[in-house]
Amino acid sequence: MTLTRRATTGLLASVAVSSSLVGCTAKEPLRVWAMGVEGEALGPFAREFERSHPGVTIRVQVLPWSAAHEKLLTAFAADNLPDIIALGNTWVSEFAALNALEPLNDRLKGSAIRFDHFFDGARNSVTLGDRILGVPWYVDTRLLFYRTDLLHQAGFDVPAVTWDRWDAQLAALSRDGRHGLLMPINEYEPLVALCLQSDASLLLDDDTRGGFRQAGIRDAFAYAASLYERGYAARLMHSEVTDYYSAFARGEYAFIITGPWNLGEFSRRLPAALQDKWATAPLPGPNGPGASSAGGVSMCVTRASRDKDLAFSFVEYMCNTQQQAEFYKATGDLPPDRDAWPMAQLMEDERTHAFFDQLTMARPVPKVPEWERIANEMTGALERVIRGQVGLDTALERLDAFAWNVLAKRRTLLARQRSFQKSGAA
């Protein structure tokens, strides 16, 4: 059991959703690839779109998260990408680098999608330079899930909003063999969120080298390491966390950093006696409520699509304000359009309202194809510090060196682009 969304979906079979309308001139089917339970939930929406577009057939193929990335790259290599792909926001830059995605700037003008009403972090995640390469379909971020009763027993009314005050709460909750916080060491999202609370950038110089030795990033790493060193966070890896719902119910942890999919999971898995004893809150920061990462999935039209106008029509249909509210009701996925929240009655629930507050502070991670490799190495560096294998400064120096090597290709490509631009100007 892990705290990531992908682990909660399991392996899902590929399915196709289509309907043919008798007596209509049939277009070539529009192919849509989406992952996980959201892909499965597309079926009824696709059929409704078909009913309002006679002659159109939508074929939705659902990919398991565990195989999706390889499947997409294989399809690109074989020139067999579908018309629309639902991409995790951290993958958008990778497929942009492959020139696989159609810019949507012109199509968004005057469309039913109110792009400027979306959360800033979501919009920024799909905007590379001056190109908008997708439309956010649903969003997620990480914040605190916590036991209100345990916090009250420790003498606190609400979760802290600063690191110092959170330390005091965690110290009071980390006793008798228990830890105040569950934050698996090799889960990079919480560590990245702490780093995003700094004004410093994780990557520097057009994202061509690491910025991990900057003061703000170093402070975030030092704080994360201290949570384990002081016994506030359990020194556990993903594989060692077998059932954190039961552990949370037993009071082994008062805080868990996780995402919106667990709103439903906690409601289903926690005992009835605890349903009024858990809540959510934004992450604390160095000096006040802290930022978190802007995650989620966006719908992207591929350059390979033979009917880009129709493809965008389906994206527009799925991502307009009303439909975002309906998709939340069907799946529990949070809308990227702020205006969809009151429509879906999300502002009336304190647990979801905390996500709204966190999303207003969410920041995108670096938009480079190599980002996930670097983020995973961040947790490796943190683990080595926690285990006492290396000092913090040495770990960050090595992390910068790792990023330098991983980003070598990007530096070469950018250098070529600059050289080409100079020669063209001459």
Task: Report the Cα 231 to chain-centroid distance in Å.
Answer: 28
**In the structure, what pLDDT confidence band is assigned to residue 4 with cuts at 50, 70 and 90?**
low
The mean pLDDT of 128-154, rounded to a whole number, is 98
Same structural domain, 283 and 197 = yes
CB 126 within 8 A of CB 249: no
**Which pLDDT score, from 0 to 100, does residue 23 have?**
36
**Which pLDDT score, from 0 to 100, does residue 177 have?**
85
Domain extent, residue 201, equals 143-290+367-375+387-398
**In the structure, what pLDDT confidence band is assigned to residue 3 with cuts at 50, 70 and 90?**
low
- Please check whether residue 413 lies inside any domain of the structure: no
- Please check whether residue 102 lies inside any domain of the structure: yes
- Please check whether residue 353 lies inside any domain of the structure: no
- Please check whether residue 410 lies inside any domain of the structure: no
**Distant-in-sequence, close-in-space partners of 418: CB < 8 Å, separation ≥ 6:** none
Q: What percent of the chain has pLDDT over 90?
A: 89
Same structural domain, 52 and 73 = yes
3-state secondary structure of 80: coil
**Which pLDDT score, from 0 to 100, does residue 186 have?**
97
User: 87: domain CATH number?
Assistant: 3.40.190.10
- Please check whether residue 131 lies inside any domain of the structure: yes
Same structural domain, 147 and 14 = no
For the cut 70, the answer to whether the pLDDT of residue 402 exceeds it is yes
**In the structure, what pLDDT confidence band is assigned to residue 251 with cuts at 50, 70 and 90?**
very high
Q: Which of 289, 416, 422 is nearest to 357 (CA)?
A: 289
Same structural domain, 332 and 298 = yes
Same structural domain, 13 and 135 = yes
Same structural domain, 306 and 371 = no
The mean pLDDT of 65-86, rounded to a whole number, is 96
Same structural domain, 187 and 112 = no
For the cut 80, the answer to whether the pLDDT of residue 17 exceeds it is no
Same structural domain, 57 and 206 = no
**Which pLDDT score, from 0 to 100, does residue 271 have?**
98
What letter represents residue 296's amino acid?
G
Same structural domain, 215 and 266 = yes
**Which pLDDT score, from 0 to 100, does residue 419 have?**
77
CA quadruple 289, 290, 291, 292: dihedral, nearest 10: -110
Same structural domain, 149 and 256 = yes
- Please check whether residue 171 lies inside any domain of the structure: yes
State how far the Cα of 82 lies from the Cα of 46, in Å rounded to an integer. Answer: 15
- Total domains in the chain come to 2
Mean pLDDT (the chain, rounded): 93
Q: Which of 331, 339, 356, 412 is nearest to 5 (CA)?
A: 331
Same structural domain, 126 and 168 = no
- Please check whether residue 17 lies inside any domain of the structure: yes
- Please check whether residue 202 lies inside any domain of the structure: yes
Strand ranges, E, within 155-288: 181-182, 203-204, 209-210, 255-258, 278-281
pLDDT tens for each residue of 318-362 = 999 999 999 999 999 999 999 999 999 999 999 999 999 999 999
**In the structure, what pLDDT confidence band is assigned to residue 26 with cuts at 50, 70 and 90?**
low
For the cut 60, the answer to whether the pLDDT of residue 15 exceeds it is no
Same structural domain, 37 and 176 = no
The mean pLDDT of 261-281, rounded to a whole number, is 98
The mean pLDDT of 383-394, rounded to a whole number, is 98
Q: Which of 161, 172, 363 is nearest to 281 (CA)?
A: 161
